[in-house]
Structure 1
Amino acid sequence: MNDVAGGLESVVAAYGMQLLLAVVFLLIGLWVIKFALKIMEKNIQGKFDRTLTSFLLSMSRAILLILLFLSIASTLGFEVTSFIAILGAAGFAVGFALQGSLSNFAGGVLLLIFRPFTAGDMIEVAGYKGKVQEIELLYTIITSPDNKKIYVPNSNISTNSITNFSALDKRRVDLSFGVGYDDDINEVKEVIKKVVSEHELILKEPAPIIRLGEHAGSSLNFDVKVWVSPTDYWNVYYDLHEELKYAFDEAGFNIPYPQIDVHFDEGVKM
């Protein structure tokens, strides 16, 4: 018994101080991690999307905890290089197996950091067009104009050109209207100006552009370019098509149709 007691005393004497230091190190480390994460959250709150903020905090916490436990293991006398090698090999295997998902993940992080668009914006990217509902770390969710929910991989978005229709406070509506060659050019322009000036959704500045744009095969085509708020684009687009048709009819303008003039040479015998 004396030998056993002596052995326990020697073990306690040898490792007791290390265990005590490890416990103290653990408690202090957890407190430091908690304090550091609070400071980090305070500094990045509002600067990034909430999804990215939550991810950065979770990732930072995981990394700090791993470093803390490796440090504690080293304090207790364990060889940490083997742990690091195992973690590295596991990380490589997982990364190779999930390289597609990791590519989407990296694209999602870039989108959340640089913010080429936000939720609610109307965009066109990777062959899809619609309103952004949510930006997740792997996918961006878009609702199409005909109300289909589309999950677009973030890797496709981050490597393609993005058209954001909502980024600026104005959009230009470009239209073209044709009248007959016999109609008076100035009169046509005045009728168009009247319709445009009376439309309440069309902005006064920048000024609308109304010019004869093309001598087509059977019509004179007038370019009409007006500026609107992005949310009013389609209302103005359809309104002008309808209202100018009524105005042209009232003014007596000819709506052009494709025509072919056939000339007969009387000297040619049939």
Structure 2
Amino acid sequence: MNSFLFAAADAVAPTEADAIIGSEPMSESTFPLMEKGFEFLQVYGLPIIHAIIIYFIGVKVVRYATKYICHLMKKSKTDETLVKFASHLINATGVVFVIIGALTKLGMPTTSMVAVVGAAGLAIGLSLQGALSNFAAGILIIMFKPFKVGDLIDAGGTVGTVREIELFTSKLITPDNKTAVIPNSLLTADKIINFTETEDIRVDLTFGCSYGDDNDKVKSVLMNILTSDPRVLTEPAPMVSISGHGDSSINYAVRPWCKAVNYWDVYFDMHEKVKKEFDAQGISIPFPQRDLHIVSGTGKIS
């Protein structure tokens, strides 16, 4: 009994800190870990807060600048496609710079990061040469406007009405109502003939008549066909003249003027009208032929 009392008296009473933290005493490694945490907050806490502030404020500034620049572009009547592209490009570029600025505030080596991004961009650019050339051609078309939506053009080996101009391709509606999607680089690689850039356009036609037909009569018939068509303009005046002497025919150049929207109607109708009128007037339309002369002889063939 006495030994039990002495043992109880020698036991250390639990302190207030032990009661709060727990019955088990704290290990020696707990205090260094807390000290490292406080040191981390002292060293990086303020830069982290600054980086977060830079990011959020920077993103808002980029968005505001993008909207303002797009507003100015729309006010100057810039093409809508170019406005949308500029909006995405400015926003993406601005956000990248904001992120780099935030990382720089944290003390991270952004120089190597920029180098990696540049190398990746170069590799992607080399693998997408064709797409990038179409993209550059699309920018040139939108900026310099050699044609616009609704124009009738001859470009890239295709004749059609422009339906849509995009950054990589353009859509044309052909005379037979087919949709042709043409890469922009193909359109800008060769000449572009715009039939509707001006309001009036000349229709170039050529008709051949026999050498035996009266020249004045043929020219009179052709001119009457032109002047009787209300779609043919009186100013500039239509023209009919001999353009050459062919192997089997006299060729007449017929040059009526009309509104650009009537080009194809006048072009096709003139061929039909000339054929009907030539038949009615007895004017022949020649075709390639050969005269065969047979000479009889008295010689014997051995």
Instruction: Give the alignment's TM-score, normalised by structure 1.
Output: 0.85
Q: What SS does structure 1 have at the residue aligned with 2:111? A: helix
**2:23 corresponding residue in structure 1:** none
Q: Does the 8 A contact of 2:67 with 2:87 survive in 1?
A: no
Residue 189 to residue 2, structure 1, CA distance change in 2 (3 Å): same
Counterpart in 2 of 1:21? 50
2:125–2:132 Cα contact (<8 Å) kept: yes
Gaps of 5+ in 1: none
**Matched residues in 2 for 1:92 and 1:221: separation?**
59
| Residue 173 of structure 2 is aligned to residue 175 of structure 1 | no
Equivalent of 2:131, from 83, 97, 101? 101
State the alpha-carbon separation in 1 of the partners of residues 37 and 248 from structure 2.
Answer: 107
Matched, 1:33 2:62: yes
Which residue in the other structure is 1:248 paired with? 278
Q: For residue 239 of structure 2, what is the amino acid of its counterpart?
A: I
SS, match of residue 28 in structure 1 = helix
Greater mean alpha carbon deviation, residues 166-175 or residues 245-254: 245-254
Name whichever of 33-42 and 174-183 sits farther off: 174-183
Larger radius of gyration: 2
Pick from 41, 62, 79: which aligns with 2:92? 62
What amino acid does structure 1 have at the position aligned with 2:41? V
> Would you say 1:237 and 2:283 are equivalent positions?
no
Contact 2:165-2:171 within 8 A present in 1 as well = yes
1:12 matched to 2:75 = no
Is contact 2:70-2:86 (8 Å) kept? no
Picking from 155, 165, 169, the partner of 2:185 is 155
TM-score after normalising by structure 2:
0.77
% identical equivalent positions: 37
Q: Report the alpha carbon displacement of residue 257 of structure 1 after superposing the two structures with TM.
A: 5.7
Corresponding position: 1:115 with 2:149: no
Cα–Cα, structure 1 residues 105 and 256, in superposed 2: closer, same or farther, change >3 Å? closer
Q: Could you list the per-position Cα deviations for residues 187-219 of structure 1 after superposition, in whole angstroms to 9, with x for gaps in the alignment? A: 433333222112110111111112233344554
Equivalent residue in structure 1 for 2:222, among 176, 186, 192: 192
Q: Secondary structure at the match of 1:134?
A: strand
**In angstroms, what is the RMSD of aligned CA positions?**
2.8
Q: Is the 8 A contact 2:231 2:262 kept in 1?
A: yes
Counterparts of 1:82 and 1:100, CA distance in 2: 29
Structure with more contact order per residue of length (Cα contacts < 8 Å, sep ≥ 6): 1
Is 2:99 the counterpart of 1:84?
Answer: no
The number of residues matched between the two structures is 269
